[in-house]
Structure 1
Amino acid sequence: MAGERPGWAMPPARPRPRAGLPSARPRPSRRGLASARLWLYWRWRCWAGISAWGGGGIAAFCLRLARPRPRPRPRPQLRPRLLPGPAEHTRGAAAPAASAAASPARAPPLGSAAAGPEPPVPRSRERTPGHGRPGAGEGRSGVVAGPGPSADSHVPPAGTAQEALQERYRLGSLLGRGGFGRVFAATRLSDGAPVAIKRVRRNRVRHWGELPDGTSTPLEIVLLAKVSTGFPGVVQLLEWPELPNCIVMVLERPEQCQDLQRFIRARRFLPEEEARELFRQVLEAVRHCTSCGVLHRDIKPENILVDLDTGQAKLIDFGCGTYLQDTVYTHFAGTLSYSPPEWNDFGWYHGEPATIWSLGILLHQMVCGEHPFRRGQNLSWGQLPLPQRLSQECKDLIRWCLSMNSLDRPALEDLFCHPWMWDIPLP
């Protein structure tokens, strides 16, 4: 047509419906029907799920209301923990025995479960050979000869072992408690000799060893059998009756004794002359243990017993000990505040440098009356501040033992040759 633009076309005309006839509805497509059916299906699924959830929740709520409530059990009264000195973070160490002046709480029967479960203390120990666990059915006893009260008795096996112990010893006050055992003061009825009885539950013993005769026993007893024979600087193991549920260690105990922690607190700090004598005895005890192939790993004032009558110092509590080795240790056992910096930084340590580090802390506690790092000081600073009243030889020895680099610390024999140990002024 004239006047139409090129490229444009008129839309086709819609057909008009006939008069009197209704217009036909458009027929739905198959896709629309499928969508509608799918929507109805999911609507039904949602409704069914909500109904089931609501019905189940209501039913569970009704059952909970109908269920009889159990009566609340009375909470057991916890006994106070009798630990000497301030609480410390211990990893792998049972709490040491306190002095005989501890609270006179009456002890439960020996080997009885009435004492309650020991508080769990996480412990990481060195893996040692021969830690297979024997059966817990028979009662056994071992005797280790040594000075002090004689170990001349025999404990009957099996069921009569507990009765025999009660007939031979009279238990006294609780001296100390830890994650692996309890220590009681006791008296041997045959001669009235004072002893200490350490009771350890069998399920708390993680490492076992073998005595020279092939007897399987906890590693602590194996180490004590190595070091507590004829040497006065280490506590003597008199016998170790093994009961079905626990193991009992009978140890010597001086008549008048006090752990070094309480000994220092009673005097605030020790004069250098008194500290020198006690420190020399500790060094001799450590050298004796080293010569026997034993590493104590928990040297601190609480684990040193002082005989108030003779002034003799005794190293106690080998619960964190292990066999001495030349290679590195990758598991720590002992008190964390006495751990060397190489353990905190790298996760390993050698036996002798770690022992020298703990001996340096021990000497600092003797002459200063406090732990050098307890107040949160950073161990990476330079010089260790020490009181002006101390001699230059004592300051030099403490700082030498507390060298940050383990290679810079002295050997054990170097400590015996230091001028302070001989009261020789430095040039």
Structure 2
Amino acid sequence: MGQGAYGEVKLARSKKNPAKKVVLKYVTKKKILVDTWTRDRRLGTVPLEIHVLDYLRRDGLKHPNIVEMEGFFEDDVNYYIEMMPHGLPGMDLFDYIELKANMDESECKNIFRQVVDAIHHLHTKALVVHRDIKDENVILDGEGKIKLIDFGSAAYIKNGPFDVFVGTIDYAAPEVLQGKSYRGKEQDIWALGILLYTIVYKENPFYNVDEILDHPLRVPFLPFSEDCIDLIRRMLDRDVDNRLTITEVMEHPWMTDN
């Protein structure tokens, strides 16, 4: 179903119950970064991704727009994370944007609101940062419902600030690329800004690292209301202290206007 830096994702079927399908994420042990292993009395020593996903399936911490781990197992080479399929087959937002040339404002808003809802839950309730928000990590089920996937770069906010860059360069905030220590939430907001721009304009706002660090935002045309581009600008504020929080994103006029 897909391939990433640390492994691959496959659709599998249960031998005992062939009607049951699961998504299996292979996480190659030798590729797991040294500082992302964590000890847990119940789980043993596991990658932080499994620890976070296990935490997010507790009562009160589940969220309809966040992928849910069913379980995990391991062999000498890999960890295998079991997840329920989201739509058969689900499609990631990257492919969906390529496929659907004429998304209207309400559809863009519906998709983006769900991603924001997931991040709001992570930042304010679970106290987790995702750190790899991008179109490829948003899965649509064919009925307009989304799930945020891939917690391979996630971390607990209490363990910050962070010094090591993880995630995807195109979605990285300027302060992270400059090698400054960062708290994580602001990086997620910047990535949301890139994501919304990509949904609206079908391209990335910045073409390389130099542009991310110091280039005015391209606004080729105004496809939707001015509130939409205002929200993008305020999420892509290079001044970390001025950048919106996730609660401010949710309360922005574009998000609250039907």
Aligned with 1:401 (options 232, 235, 242): 235
- The DSSP-based 3-state class of the residue aligned with 1:408 is coil
Equivalent in the alignment of 1:180? 6
CA contact (8 A) 1:182 1:199 kept: yes
Aligned with 1:194 (options 21, 37, 49): 21
Equivalent in the alignment of 2:89? 256
Equivalent in the alignment of 1:208? 37
Matches within 5 A, 1:338-417: 338-374=171-207, 378-379=211-212, 380-417=214-251
CA contact (8 A) 2:65 2:117 kept: yes
Identity of paired residues, percent?
31
Question: What displacement does 1:327 show?
Answer: 4.8
Runs of 4+ in 1 over 6 A off after TM superposition: none
Equivalent in the alignment of 2:63? 231
C-alpha distance in structure 1 between counterparts of 2:47 and 2:192, whole Å: 27
TM-score of the two chains, using structure 2 as the length reference: 0.88
Aligned with 2:100 (options 243, 264, 267): 267
Count of residue pairs the alignment pairs up: 249
CA contact (8 A) 2:131 2:166 kept: yes
TM-score of the two chains, using structure 1 as the length reference: 0.55
Aligned with 1:318 (options 116, 130, 151): 151
Amino acid in the other structure paired with 1:410: L
Matches within 5 A, 1:300-339: 300-308=134-142, 310-325=143-158, 327-339=160-172
CA contact (8 A) 1:340 1:349 kept: no
Q: CA RMSD in A?
A: 2.1
Amino acid in the other structure paired with 2:199: M
- Which structure has greater helix proportion? 2
Matches within 5 A, 1:133-152: none
Matches within 5 A, 1:111-190: 175-189=1-15, 190=17
CA contact (8 A) 2:132 2:153 kept: yes
Amino acid in the other structure paired with 1:220: E
Equivalent in the alignment of 2:79? 247
* Deviation digits for residues 318-357 of structure 1 (CA, Å, limit 9, x no counterpart): 1111121385321110001111111223533221111110
Question: 5+ unaligned residues in a row in structure 2: which ranges?
Answer: none
CA contact (8 A) 1:384 1:399 kept: no
Aligned with 1:419 (options 250, 253, 256): 253
C-alpha distance in structure 1 between counterparts of 2:43 and 2:25, whole Å: 23
Question: What displacement does 1:200 show?
Answer: 2.2
C-alpha distance in structure 1 between counterparts of 2:161 and 2:251, whole Å: 26
C-alpha distance in structure 1 between counterparts of 2:176 and 2:47, whole Å: 26
- The DSSP-based 3-state class of the residue aligned with 1:287 is helix
Q: Work out which of the two has the higher radius of gyration on C-alpha atoms and give 1 or 2.
A: 1
Question: 5+ unaligned residues in a row in structure 1: which ranges?
Answer: 1-174
- Which structure has greater strand proportion? 2
Equivalent in the alignment of 2:51? 222
